[in-house]
Amino acid sequence: MFISIAGITVLYLLMNISVMSVISWQEMKPGEKHLASIFMERIYGNTAGIIITVLILWIALASLFAVVLGYSRIPYAAAVDGNFFQLFSKLHPTKDFPYVSLTFLCSLGFIFSLLFRLEKAIDSILAMRIIIQFIGQSVGLVLLRERLGTKNLPFKMWLYPVPVVVSICIWLFLLISTGWFALWGSLLAAGGIIVFYVGQNWKGR
């Protein structure tokens, strides 16, 4: 794993060095979104810039397709476990995928894309992922270690718990930097926790 992280780090640094050797940071305008296209256009011409732009859009579409398919499994799994609306537990009769969950998520994403600017939508997604996924994983790791001990874990963390604390602090800083979306993300996460426990108590009766 560490070899993979080091390799990706080196490749990322080399990519940035390559771009900066062609486009100086003084030239870039705030919020510039077409860096790769400008980079290719300056080296190989206008046609290359168009081609790389199309490829980036294609990659973004493929990534979004994979992400939506993956996230549609979350409401489905929660519904199967009895922690969410049973409607989301339905599978497609022939293709065997959670079509209700997938349709709902795509429709919700389409509505939000009409109501909010892309930057605001990204900030909202970032705030929710920081709270639920990144900070949640760090806290979950500590709880798992306390519950199972260190002997049963297949990995070791150097200087534990310093990396966990540093990671949580960095994610909290990034969460606060999203502005009001940090507050909304926190409220939504808290609301989800409340709904979960209310549902559990309701089923226990």
Residues 127 and 185 both lie in one domain: yes
Q: What is the mean pLDDT of the chain?
A: 83
Residues 122 and 102 both lie in one domain: no
To the nearest whole percent, how much of the chain has pLDDT over 90?
Answer: 19
Residues 152 and 100 both lie in one domain: no
pLDDT exceeds cutoff 70 at 182: no
Q: Which residues contact 116 (CB under 8 A, 6 or more apart)?
A: 124
Q: Using one digit for the tens of pLDDT, what is the confidence trace for 92-130?
A: 888 888 999 999 988 988 887 788 777 777 777 777 788
Residues 123 and 187 both lie in one domain: yes
Tokens of 124: 């909202």
Q: Could you give phi then psi for residue 153, rounded to 5 degrees?
A: -90, 135
Residues 89 and 32 both lie in one domain: no
Q: Using one digit for the tens of pLDDT, what is the confidence trace for 19-63?
A: 888 887 777 776 666 788 888 998 998 999 899 999 999 998 898
Give how many domains the chain has, as a whole number.
Answer: 3
Contact between residue 56 and residue 36 where contact means Cβ atoms under 8 Å apart: yes
Residues 106 and 138 both lie in one domain: no
Q: What is this structure's pTM? A: 0.65
pLDDT at 1: 63
Structural domain harbouring 43: 1-67
Residues 57 and 82 both lie in one domain: no
Residues 98 and 127 both lie in one domain: no
C-alpha distances in angstroms, 64 versus 70, 89, 118, 165? 10, 22, 14, 31
pLDDT at 31: 61
Residues 201 and 127 both lie in one domain: yes
Helices (H), 45-151: 46-71, 73-80, 99-115, 118-129, 136-148
